[in-house]
Amino acid sequence: MAVSSWTELAQATDWNHPRNKAAAARDGDAFTAMIADRWYGLLHDAIRRHDPNHLVFGDKLKYDMIPPLLFPVLKKYVDVIMVQDIKENLQDQIAHFSGVYAGIGKPILNGDCGFSAPDPKKQHLKGFPVGSYNEVGEYYAAFMKGLMNLPFMIGWHYCGYIEGCAGTRLEAQEGFRDPFGKTHAEVIEHVREANAKADEWHRASRPLERKMKVPVQDAGEPRDLKSTAPARR
């Protein structure tokens, strides 16, 4: 297709299959990078005009949808990389975040992660299914320690606070409290201990070289934190 302006492109109706698929893919990547640069540039400049003293987080990016073509754009316009990463294996999560940091060199905030225990009030589970509420707490503590051992990680958003129940819109939602406000004490015990140590773990984390893929550190996994989660119920 031969076009020389946005107007001509908008008016085009004959979308033929490309003769050279590899070249078309390269063109698509280059065009996506141009769109991303324009999008993040507009957001960055608008925020900086009105709020020059705060961090720009950009979009919450799904962990498996951050192609390398976005790395230079994010590096230019975003202060913190906001990621939604729900990998159930801690080492996979560490490897992924380390790779993103190696490519962009900006701090990372994991914006979503959680674990669910079987409960008669729920027909479905959201997050990683584990065997009990005590294991929810164990997984929380292990992931907190593992992520805080990464010096470029600045935080982790846990999903969620209050559970859903059958018949509600958020039926599968996990949480530290049941739908009636009762706290899961066996979860909170691990959460409280891990949160109290988070700053200590983070301050003790070792500096990383940009080219380093996976930092070799004790992730503090619970005994049963495996590469695959228990089957969903």
| pLDDT tens-digit series, residues 166-185 | 777 667 778 898 888 899 99
Average pLDDT, the chain: 82
**Residues 174, 163: contact at Cβ < 8 Å?**
yes
For the chain, the domains span 85-228
pLDDT at 112 over 50: yes
**CB 89 within 8 Å of CB 226:** yes
Residue 230 has pLDDT above 60, yes or no: no
Q: How far apart are CA 227 and CA 102, in angstroms?
A: 23
Write down the pTM of the prediction. Answer: 0.77
Which pair of structure tokens corresponds to residue 118? 């079987």
Asked which of 29-43, 46-60, 116-130 is least confident by mean pLDDT, the reply is 116-130
At residue 227, the pLDDT reads 36
Q: How far is CA 217 from CA 26, 143, 207, 221, 226, in A?
A: 38, 13, 12, 11, 17
Spell out the long-range contacts of 164-168 with Cβ–Cβ below 8 A and sequence spacing 24 or more: 164/122, 165/121, 165/122, 166/121, 166/122, 166/123
CA proximity to 222, closest of 154, 159, 117, 134: 134
Helical residues (DSSP H) of the chain, grouped into ranges: 6-11, 21-50, 71-77, 90-104, 133-148, 185-204
Residues 6+ apart with CB under 8 A from 43: 56, 58, 77
127 neighbors 113 (Cβ within 8 angstroms)? yes
Helix (H, G, I), strand (E, B) or coil at 36: helix
Type and span of the H or E element at 61: strand 61-62
Instruction: Give strand pairing partners of 115.
Output: 128
> Average pLDDT for residues 184-198, to the nearest whole number?
95
Each residue's pLDDT tens digit, 116-158: 888 777 767 777 888 899 999 999 999 999 999 999 999 888 8
Residue 161 has pLDDT above 50, yes or no: yes
Let me know: does 114 contact 174? Beta carbons within 8 Å: yes
DSSP designation for 217: -
- Residue 87: predicted pLDDT: 65
